[in-house]
């Protein structure tokens, strides 16, 4: 398969970015999107060293930087806005699980980084998602010390509650929800953590403090407000439901009323 | 090299050691600094627990957040001797299964301790809010795993590693918020600093700015995982690497049993030349899936030509070869046995895809027995993942699987306290060698990472630090730090100066081919010697022809890869040296020269019942072998038998 790739290039956080277009050919249908980018990078590195290509006026700005790691959809490292959609045209996948068979041969594909005030670009397609760590540090945990726990079966949790908590806990922290939201809100990310813990008896003790602290941190870090467009749910690679946002709102209101 | 195993009965060793360990008072803990490198299950749980104790912890990871560490990708579960199923499980039985599964090449005392603390791990994780699978009565659910006959594996769908890591990461966040832990994401350790024979800090590169920075401490903990990416194609994450371990090795830490690498039987087969990463399908699938190839060659040929589908092959024409060869364990034999059996069938010509390197994993019977809903609950997300990758649905046609490199049992040599041969340097989790012998059982990696990080290291490190609290903060302006930094700078300058024409990955792929061909599932003397020679030549080419684009002082992923590949060359050679020395078949290490008439692995206990600990002797020099004899005082050493 052949493609034209229109890719966002930006030298560093301060530099002005721009699109560059590259042509790539000979891609297997079963190759993943990131494997395709690997092949492009091999090509760009070779072109940078190829005197013929340089003579032709080929100005390679070197390989394209992009975040990736596990390549099986669980680490949350990969991002990429592909043809206007977070993680590309397939549903419920991260970019590393996107395969080239989802694209038309000869297509032009536009690749951008996450665009959000809270996620500044580091280079090319790589952004800084440190704000997510900061939100979780504000309260996304249960305060239990190592060794303090009782026997695990002393805490009974209904099958359905555990499953619902797990639905929310499946969040990989990729940031697709923020990148997709027109307000750049991190509500789905915050809600997934708050809701997962609020559903469990262990998490109830700190539930109020947690909801308040995490929402306050989210606001402080420059994420926008939620206006219930549900776009985040549509683009979440793990299909996390906006019903968790409803639970976050209930937790937050309960906390406010008890102040 | 003293293993420091405590005297006394097996079940009392750990409590004896704990009562001997000197304590550090809370006001002195505040004065002590510890560096933890890596934030997987071992690193995150250790950093969090050390922070809770009051030490000053600096934690480093190469990714943008501690939560990305590759522990996150573990699917199936975590073992613990809870005996919640009343199936006669016990600490002893978990210990025994692990020793036997490891083919009698791990320490009795370490493994017993692992089994002993396993139950507390589950308690800890539940208290952290990890949503483990539950029965309808609200109690914790269990599943079975390969190599055992009880049901002791706790799980959170097919995402157990993710949930456990998010638990450890949450504890880490709690300590970062409390100020006891400082986090350095996107930082890569590039050297260990040793002062007067003791580990005192690290040199790291800030991966965003490219600056080389010095960090001092009273002790250093390595939790950087395994070195499976030496094979280029593996189930490890793309950035997983063995560099920190190699830096410690070059500074004098012994490296143990490097040839013990685990080849996982249930991975998605290689699809083509452009592939860079293999995907694992959880071993838990073998609970209900049945592995087979056709009995008749004509069916194999039709399959390869897409003239028939697997589901059209009649029951009597299927060879369920694991059930045939190993009736007692069937599809649940340990990983090394299952991998070799798949290779045997494919070598005999019965591989079911175009490349001839695939076997079927079939859920037809499980779906008929349990119904769609039950199967979906157990494996739904795995089925979905398989379909996303292959565009074929396991609900309709069996999965195709083939073995791939997955985990490394070998690692930095540590004593019972998890301290390396360099005082003040500790290694935990997959980065050390200690608990899995020649083969790791499924759902035991998570157990070991968390056992080391939550319950063992935070105690044992106190013994060393109890003698250090009067020492001031490590001064990073000393000549040792300056020299280490200069050496790192020289390494980077050398890579840019080569200015060749070939990419880093092109060399890594070649290394991977050499490793898979000669240091893979079946090894012999000739091949291993060839591997050592070919890696040396490849390394020479690398230093003549590689091209690293860009500069040091920017975000530069090619530079990162080049630095890691330099270390993979050395790891590859070290693995080959070790495999050459170990002229027996044992666990994941299969020497063609050492097999029974039926083709089963043949161990040689009289000559090789030892830990092979290698000492660095300089670039391109053969490392020196030190032997730690393994004594089995409490169990009888047997030939592993999964047949009856």
Nearest 5°: phi and psi at A108?
A: -95, 125
Q: Which SS3 state, helix, strand or coil, does residue A54 take?
A: helix
CA-nearest of B248, B258, B288, B572 to B421 is B248
Asked if B63 and A78 count as a contact pair (C-beta separation under 8 A), the reply is no
A35, A130, A149 ranked by CB distance to B124: nearest: A149
Are the Cβ atoms of B129 and A77 closer than 8 angstroms? no
Q: Chunked in runs of 10, what are the mean pLDDT values of chain B (644 residues)?
A: 95 97 95 98 98 98 98 93 96 96 96 98 98 96 86 93 98 98 98 98 98 98 98 96 98 98 93 84 90 96 95 96 94 91 94 93 96 89 88 95 96 98 98 96 95 98 96 97 98 97 96 96 96 98 97 96 98 98 96 92 96 94 97 92 78
Are the Cβ atoms of A97 and B385 closer than 8 angstroms? yes
> 146-165 in A: which are within 8 Å (CB) of B?
146-153, 155-159, 162-163, 165
B73, B271, B549 ranked by CB distance to A48: nearest: B549
**According to the 3-state scheme, what is the secondary structure of B432-452?**
ECCCCCCCCCCCCHHHHHHHH
Q: Which SS3 state, helix, strand or coil, does residue A49 take?
A: coil
User: Burial of A233 by CB count in 10 Å (0-12 exposed, 13-18 middle, 19+ buried)?
Assistant: middle
Are the Cβ atoms of A76 and B554 closer than 8 angstroms? no
Query: A17 in contact with B at a CB cutoff of 8 Å?
Result: no
Chain A contact probe: residue of B118, B123, B449, B559 with most A CBs at under 10 A: B123
> Is the model's pLDDT at A54 over the cut of 80?
no
pLDDT computed for residue A56 by the predictor: 59
For residue B113, indicate whether it is catalytic: no
pLDDT computed for residue A52 by the predictor: 65
Query: How many Å apart are CA A116 and CA A129, to the nearest integer?
Result: 10
Asked if B519 and B228 count as a contact pair (C-beta separation under 8 A), the reply is no
Provide, as residue numbers in chain A, all residues whose Cβ is less than 8 Å from the Cβ of B282: none
Residue entry with tokens 């020479």: B540
User: How many angstroms separate the Cα of B136 from the Cα of each of A248, B244, B380?
Assistant: 26, 45, 19
Residue B567 has, within 13 A of its CA and on its CB side, a CA count of: 24
Are the Cβ atoms of B547 and A35 closer than 8 angstroms? no
Query: How many Å apart are CA A115 and CA A117, to the nearest integer?
Result: 7
Mean pLDDT of A162-183: 97
Provide, as residue numbers in chain B, all residues whose Cβ is less than 8 Å from the Cβ of A45: 503, 547, 549, 558
pLDDT in tens, A213-226: 999 999 999 999 99
pTM of the model: 0.96
Predicted confidence band of residue A211 (pLDDT cuts 50, 70, 90): very high
Query: B162 in contact with A at a CB cutoff of 8 Å?
Result: yes
Query: How many Å apart are CA A141 and CA A144, to the nearest integer?
Result: 9
> Is the model's pLDDT at A57 over the cut of 60?
no
User: How many angstroms separate the Cα of A78 from the Cα of each of A33, A73, A164, B317?
Assistant: 11, 8, 26, 44
pLDDT computed for residue B444 by the predictor: 95
> 50-89 in B: which are within 8 Å (CB) of A?
52, 63-70, 72-73, 82, 84
**E strand or H helix that includes residue B411:** strand B411-412
Asked if B587 and B438 count as a contact pair (C-beta separation under 8 A), the reply is yes
A30, A150, A203 ranked by CB distance to B129: nearest: A203
- The nearest alpha carbon in chain B to A162 belongs to B131
**E strand or H helix that includes residue B206:** strand B198-206
> 179-218 in A: which are within 8 Å (CB) of B?
196-197, 200, 202-203
Please tell me which residue in B290, B335, B440, B640 is annotated as part of the active site: B335
Query: How many Å apart are CA A17 and CA B330, to the nearest integer?
Result: 58
Residue entry with tokens 């090319």: A124
User: Burial of A154 by CB count in 10 Å (0-12 exposed, 13-18 middle, 19+ buried)?
Assistant: exposed
Which one-letter DSSP state was computed for residue B163? H
Nearest 5°: phi and psi at B414?
A: -135, 155
Provide, as residue numbers in chain B, all residues whose Cβ is less than 8 Å from the Cβ of A151: 123
Residue entry with tokens 């175009």: B354
Q: Is the alpha carbon torsion for B167, A71, A105, A110 positive or negative?
A: positive
Residue entry with tokens 């790891």: B571
Asked if B38 and B431 count as a contact pair (C-beta separation under 8 A), the reply is yes
Q: Which SS3 state, helix, strand or coil, does residue B402 take?
A: strand
A239 in the Ramachandran plot: left (φ > 0), alpha (ψ -120 to 50) or beta? left
Mean pLDDT of chain A: 94
pLDDT computed for residue B17 by the predictor: 98
pLDDT computed for residue A59 by the predictor: 53
pLDDT computed for residue B273 by the predictor: 77
Which one-letter DSSP state was computed for residue B283? G
- Tokens for B129, please give them: 């809010």
Query: How many Å apart are CA B66 and CA B499, to the nearest integer?
Result: 34
Q: Rounded to the nearest 10 degrees, what angle do helices B525-545 and B479-498 cross at?
A: 80
């Amino acid at each position: 398969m052949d493609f034209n790739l229109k890719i966002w290039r930006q030298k560093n956080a301060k530099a002005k970015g721009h699109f560059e277009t590259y042509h790539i050919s000979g891609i297997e249908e079963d190759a993943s999107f990131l494997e395709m980018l690997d092949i492009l990078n091999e090509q760009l590195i070779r072109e940078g060293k190829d005197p013929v290509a340089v003579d032709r006026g080929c100005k390679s700005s070197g390989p394209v930087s992009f975040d990736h790691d596990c390549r099986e959809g669980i680490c949350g490292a990969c991002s990429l806005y592909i043809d206007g959609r977070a993680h590309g045209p397939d549903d419920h996948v991260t970019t590393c699980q996107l395969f080239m068979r989802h694209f038309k041969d000869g297509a032009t594909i536009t690749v951008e980084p996450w665009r959000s005030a809270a996620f500044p670009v580091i280079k090319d397609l790589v952004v800084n998602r440190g704000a997510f760590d900061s939100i979780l540090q504000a309260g996304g945990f249960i305060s239990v010390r190592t060794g303090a726990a009782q026997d695990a079966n002393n805490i009974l949790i209904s099958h359905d509650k555990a499953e619902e908590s797990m639905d929310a806990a499946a969040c990989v922290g990729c940031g697709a929800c923020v990148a997709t939201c027109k307000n750049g809100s991190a509500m789905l990310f915050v809600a997934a953590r708050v809701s997962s813990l609020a559903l469990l008896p262990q998490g109830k003790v700190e539930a109020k403090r947690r909801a308040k602290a995490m929402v306050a941190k989210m606001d402080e870090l420059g994420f926008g407000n939620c206006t219930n467009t549900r776009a985040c749910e549509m683009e979440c690679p793990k299909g996390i439901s906006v019903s968790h946002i409803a639970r976050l709102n209930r937790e937050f209101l309960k906390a406010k009323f008890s102040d | 090299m003293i293993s420091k195993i405590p005297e006394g009965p097996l079940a009392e060793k750990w409590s004896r050691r704990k009562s001997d360990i000197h304590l550090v008072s809370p006001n002195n803990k505040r004065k002590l600094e510890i560096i933890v490198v890596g934030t997987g299950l071992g690193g995150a749980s250790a950093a969090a627990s050390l922070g809770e104790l009051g030490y000053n912890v600096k934690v480093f990871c190469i990714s943008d957040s501690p939560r990305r560490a590759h522990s996150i990708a573990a699917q199936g579960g975590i073992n613990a001797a809870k005996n919640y199923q009343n199936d006669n499980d016990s600490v002893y039985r978990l210990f025994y299964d692990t020793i036997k599964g490891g083919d009698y090449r791990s320490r009795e005392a370490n493994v017993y301790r692992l089994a002993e603390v396993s139950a507390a791990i589950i308690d800890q994780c539940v208290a952290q809010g990890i949503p483990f699978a539950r029965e309808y009565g609200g109690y914790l659910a269990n599943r079975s795993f390969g190599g055992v006959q009880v049901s002791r594996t706790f799980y959170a769908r097919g995402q157990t590693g993710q949930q456990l890591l998010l638990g450890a990461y949450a504890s880490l966040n709690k300590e970062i918020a409390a100020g006891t832990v400082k986090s350095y994401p996107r930082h890569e350790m590039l050297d260990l600093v040793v002062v007067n024979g003791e580990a005192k800090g690290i040199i790291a590169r800030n991966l965003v700015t490219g600056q080389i920075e010095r960090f001092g401490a009273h002790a250093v903990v390595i939790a950087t995982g395994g070195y499976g990416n030496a094979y280029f194609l593996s189930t490890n994450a793309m950035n997983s690497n063995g560099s920190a371990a190699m830096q410690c090795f070059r500074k004098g830490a012994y490296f143990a049993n490097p040839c013990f690498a685990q080849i996982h039987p249930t991975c998605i087969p290689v699809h083509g030349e452009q592939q860079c990463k293999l995907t694992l399908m959880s071993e838990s699938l073998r609970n209900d899936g049945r592995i087979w190839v056709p009995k008749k060659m004509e069916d194999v040929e039709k399959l390869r030509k897409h003239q028939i589908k697997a589901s059209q092959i009649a029951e009597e024409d299927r060879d369920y070869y694991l059930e045939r060869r190993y009736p007692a364990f069937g599809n649940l034999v340990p990983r090394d046995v299952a991998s070799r059996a798949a290779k045997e069938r494919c070598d005999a010509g019965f591989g079911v895809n175009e490349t001839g390197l695939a076997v079927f994993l079939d859920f037809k019977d499980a779906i008929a027995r349990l119904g769609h809903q039950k199967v979906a609950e157990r494996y739904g997300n795995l089925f979905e993942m398989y379909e996303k990758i292959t565009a074929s649905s396991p609900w309709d046609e069996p999965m195709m699987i083939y073995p791939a490199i997955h985990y490394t049992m070998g690692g930095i040599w540590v004593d019972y306290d998890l301290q390396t041969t360099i005082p003040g340097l500790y290694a935990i989790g997959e980065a050390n060698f200690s608990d899995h012998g020649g083969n790791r059982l499924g759902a035991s990696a998570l157990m070991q990472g968390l056992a080391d990080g939550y319950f063992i290291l935070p105690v044992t490190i106190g013994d060393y630090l109890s003698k250090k609290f009067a020492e001031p903060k490590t001064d990073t302006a000393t000549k040792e730090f300056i020299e280490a930094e200069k050496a790192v700078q020289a390494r980077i300058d050398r890579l840019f100066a080569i200015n060749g024409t070939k990419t880093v990955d092109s060399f890594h792929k070649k290394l991977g081919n050499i490793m898979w061909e000669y240091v893979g599932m079946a090894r012999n003397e000739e091949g291993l010697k060839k591997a050592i020679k070919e890696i040396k030549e490849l390394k020479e080419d690398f230093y003549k022809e590689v091209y690293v684009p860009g500069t040091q002082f920017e975000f530069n992923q090619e530079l990162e890869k080049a630095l890691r590949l330099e270390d993979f060359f050395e790891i590859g050679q070290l693995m080959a040296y070790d495999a050459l020395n170990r002229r027996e078949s044992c666990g994941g290490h299969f020497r063609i020269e050492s097999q029974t008439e039926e083709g089963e692995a043949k161990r040689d206990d009289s000559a090789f019942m030892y830990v092979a600990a290698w000492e660095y002797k300089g670039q391109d020099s053969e490392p020196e072998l030190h032997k730690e004899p393994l004594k089995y005082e409490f169990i009888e050493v047997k030939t592993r038998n999964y047949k009856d």
